[in-house]
Amino acid sequence: MHKILKKCGGLPMAIISIAGLLASYELSESKDMWERVHKSIGSHMESHPTLEGMRQIVTLSYNHLPHYLKGCMMYLSIFPEDYVFAKDRLLKRWIAEGLVTEVRGLTLMEVAQAHYNELVSRSMIDRSSDVVTFYDGRLEMCRVHDMMLEVMVNKSLECNFVSLVGGPYKGMAYYRIRRLSIHGGEETEGSPSNRTAACLSKTNGIEGVKMDHVRSLSLFGPDDHRMVLDRLGEFTLLRVLDLE
């Protein structure tokens, strides 16, 4: 434990991520797992703890997720940075997107809840304060840490899991879009998301891109609707429409 903490360099997010990873393993396999985690963390974290080192640890936590949780976690890249969302909204979207498989004796919502609980226990999703609404009563709210979101965005863009447009992703180009997420707001120079976009060197946004492969459409900015609503007839495979 001391060696692992030393390599985390005192960075809270790194310590929380590693703690969540180690806590997910049974006692019988924990010693071997701790050794593997210790060897996996870059040695430079000991003497030069940096944001890049913390990204490495967050990525390590993601890489050790079971397969059925990786898709659920990558799906969070749809949401903007610092965005707080309702838990039930997330679970219903997981189900609609086919990321939750049936388990005998359980409803899909119960399986999705179990996935959510596991990600919370691993400190990959943060619970936020509950809110009370007139229609839905008390809602459990949650969010993703900025560093975790940055890693998920990178993973999602690498495998074309999500296509992000607007805000810090202005200028991105995609050749086949399955999950389209449009973010409002201005691009912030130097932001983690902007660095991701710049690194991929994309140029043209969604103009001229065919929408006949889009399975989900999410709009987060107040002025985003005009970008795509007049093209809804092209979304022939759409199964998730979230206008917030």
Per-residue pLDDT tens, the chain, 244 aa: give them. Answer: 455 444 444 445 555 555 555 555 555 455 565 555 545 554 444 444 555 666 777 787 888 889 999 999 999 999 998 899 999 999 999 999 999 999 999 999 999 999 999 999 888 898 887 776 656 667 889 998 887 888 899 899 989 899 988 777 777 777 788 999 988 654 444 444 444 333 333 333 566 677 888 999 998 876 656 667 778 888 899 989 988 7
**How many residues belong to the chain?**
244
Q: Right CATH number for 66-147 from 1.10.10.10, 3.40.190.10, 3.40.50.10300, 3.20.20.70?
A: 1.10.10.10
Instruction: Please give the structure tokens belonging to residue 131.
Output: 């809110």
Q: Report pLDDT for 185.
A: 54
- Is residue 165 within 8 Å of 172, Cβ to Cβ? yes
Judge if pTM exceeds 0.75. no
Q: Report pLDDT for 82.
A: 87
Q: Report pLDDT for 26.
A: 56
Q: Report pLDDT for 187.
A: 44
According to CATH, where is 1.10.10.10 located in the chain?
66-147
Q: Report pLDDT for 45.
A: 46
Residues β-bridged to residue 138: 132
Query: What is d(CA 227, CA 223) in angstroms, rounded to the nearest whole number?
Result: 8
